[in-house]
Amino acid sequence: MANLNEMIDDFGFLDDWEDRMRYVIELGKALPDLPDSEKTAENKVQGCASQVWLSVSSGEGADPDMTFRGDSDAFIVRGLVAIVLSAYSGKKASEVVSFDALDLFKQLGLLEHLTAQRANGLRSMIQRIREEAARRLV
């Protein structure tokens, strides 16, 4: 999976909306599959039109490192999941809570082109990630 800085650089070279969406789909194809054992009702993100699963793990301590894995049954959404995971995974819980990935999607020129359903699903996923991190802060 590409790291966030690489993705931002790559999006910077793409002027056309269609090229950006093709890149989002490529990112989704490169996202490792989530094992079926983690595609549970508990891991399903509510508020998404497509099926989206989010698995969370964290280290120990007052501000643990967070690891997120995810998947979707839709190509474009799977790419959005890949971007969100790159933005949040590997960060401290306090960083996750304070970072709003919606600003990142605006910066990448993606947010204004998402359908209302996809944008709502994206918001739900980001909210869920930030809530999971907040629960782990002591």
Catalytic residues: 48
- At 35, phi and psi to the nearest 5? -60, 145
CA dist list (Å): 66 to 62, 63, 92, 101, 115:
12, 9, 6, 15, 29
Compute the distance between CA of residue 136 and CA of residue 22 in angstroms, rounded to an integer.
36
Instruction: Tell me if residue 108 falls in helix, strand or coil.
Output: coil
Angle at 90 between CA 19 and CA 131, to 5 degrees: 90
Q: Are 45 and 124 in contact (CB under 8 A)?
A: yes
Q: Is 53 left (phi over 0), alpha (psi -120 to 50) or beta?
A: beta
